[in-house]
């Protein structure tokens, strides 16, 4: 009964966060009808309406708001109880969320070191945007995330371990190496890194501060794709200076931007009460070693 009740509470928390039963259903891989049924059961068991429905959106009632305060702790405690009952069983699986840029750069080195420490632990990987990764950690969908530090203050239920800061660089065809980066931004077509992403926001702010109105050619949400376009001579781009093999291709030049002060802060995010705390901390040690700046 405890498992069913906590599962319904977890569904309720997701519905309340998303403001949508259909969105919660999509994330839980359930039908909207099943989610609605869970909410009706929960409301019947507690004897009060928990959600106000307005078209396709929902929001918590006053009672629902009170339930949120307790439900988060109950779901977390249930996870800890399961970990205690199963002992070491939970130490054979780790769920990792990651940015695509880390997936294409440091993650293989981190996993190589981690699997040497824990050869019998299965690791599942889910890639996503920074905002999605935060939600995955908060909802318990992943045990930890390699992500950008959130712009807001983290609640005390979260742990944050800084790993690396990445400045902006100008990515240009190798033939343009050594040229003035500011002039290149004025003269060459710009391949934008998606402005909805952390690195893309930094690049957009840099252009605004410098008073440069570039000739935009493409806007892409993949650094690998950006690098491929630049290598083919289709333009230049401002991107975070990630330590990835494709950024070191001989067809590319990484040119420092002396005026770029903002940096992209990467780190590890997890819940303080994680039932896989030992694995998370060991993963963090491997990540720290793999992402340490070269001497």
For residue 78, what is the domain's CATH number?
A: 1.10.10.10
- What does each of the 295 residues of the chain score in pLDDT, given as a tens digit? 344 467 788 888 888 888 888 888 876 777 888 888 889 989 988 899 999 988 778 899 999 888 887 887 777 666 656 655 555 545 688 999 999 999 989 999 999 999 999 998 999 999 999 989 998 898 888 999 999 998 888 888 889 999 999 999 999 999 999 999 999 999 999 999 999 988 999 999 999 999 999 999 999 999 999 999 999 999 999 999 998 889 999 999 999 998 767 788 999 999 887 878 889 999 999 999 998 765 4
Q: Are 73 and 193 members of one domain?
A: no
40: its two tokens: 């009706």
Provide the pLDDT for residue 156. Answer: 81
Provide the pLDDT for residue 262. Answer: 75
Provide the pLDDT for residue 69. Answer: 78
Q: Are 121 and 176 members of one domain?
A: no
Provide the pLDDT for residue 11. Answer: 85
Q: Are 202 and 255 members of one domain?
A: yes
Provide the pLDDT for residue 26. Answer: 79
CA distances from 221 to 58, 197, 218, 226 (A): 31, 8, 10, 8
Q: Are 14 and 74 members of one domain?
A: yes
- Is 193 within 8 Å of 203 (Cβ atoms)? yes
Q: Are 76 and 154 members of one domain?
A: no
Q: Are 20 and 133 members of one domain?
A: no
Q: Are 187 and 245 members of one domain?
A: yes
Q: How far apart are CA 248 and CA 217, in angstroms?
A: 23
Q: How far apart are CA 288 and CA 265, in angstroms?
A: 13
User: Does residue 295 lie within any of the structural domains?
Assistant: no
User: Does residue 227 lie within any of the structural domains?
Assistant: yes
Instruction: Tell me, yes or no, if the pTM score tops 0.75.
Output: no
Q: What range does the domain containing 151 cover?
A: 90-164+265-290
Provide the pLDDT for residue 3. Answer: 42
CATH number, position 213: 3.40.190.10
Q: How far apart are CA 91 and CA 74, in angstroms?
A: 22
User: Does residue 179 lie within any of the structural domains?
Assistant: yes
């Amino acid at each position: 009964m405890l498992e069913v009740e906590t599962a319904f509470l977890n569904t309720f928390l997701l519905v309340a966060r998303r403001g949508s039963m259909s969105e919660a259903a999509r994330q839980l891989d359930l039908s909207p009808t099943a989610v609605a049924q869970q909410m009706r059961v929960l409301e019947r068991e507690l004897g009060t309406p928990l959600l106000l429905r307005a078209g396709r959106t929902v929001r918590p009632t006053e009672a629902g708001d009170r339930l949120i305060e307790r439900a988060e702790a109950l779901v977390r405690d249930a996870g800890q109880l399961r970990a205690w009952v199963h002992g070491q069983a939970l130490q054979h699986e780790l769920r990792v969320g990651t940015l695509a840029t880390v997936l294409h750069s440091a993650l293989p080195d981190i996993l190589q070191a981690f699997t040497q420490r824990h050869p019998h632990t299965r690791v599942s990987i889910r890639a996503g945007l920074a905002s999605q990764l935060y939600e995955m950690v908060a909802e318990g969908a992943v045990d930890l995330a390699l992500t950008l530090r959130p712009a807001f203050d983290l609640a005390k239920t979260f742990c944050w371990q800084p790993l690396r800061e990445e400045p902006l660089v100008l990515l240009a065809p190798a033939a343009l190496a050594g040229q003035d980066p500011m002039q290149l931004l004025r003269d060459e077509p710009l391949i934008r890194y998606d402005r909805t992403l952390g690195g893309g926001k930094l690049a957009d702010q840099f252009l605004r501060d410098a008073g440069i109105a570039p000739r935009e050619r493409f806007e892409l949400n993949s650094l690998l794709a950006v690098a491929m376009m630049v290598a083919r001579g289709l333009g230049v781009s401002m991107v975070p200076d990630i330590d990835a093999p494709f950024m070191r291709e001989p067809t590319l030049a990484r040119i420092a931007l002396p005026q770029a002060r903002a940096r992209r802060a990467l780190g590890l995010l997890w819940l303080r009460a994680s039932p896989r705390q030992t694995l998370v901390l060991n993963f963090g040690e491997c990540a720290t070693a793999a992402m340490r700046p070269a001497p």
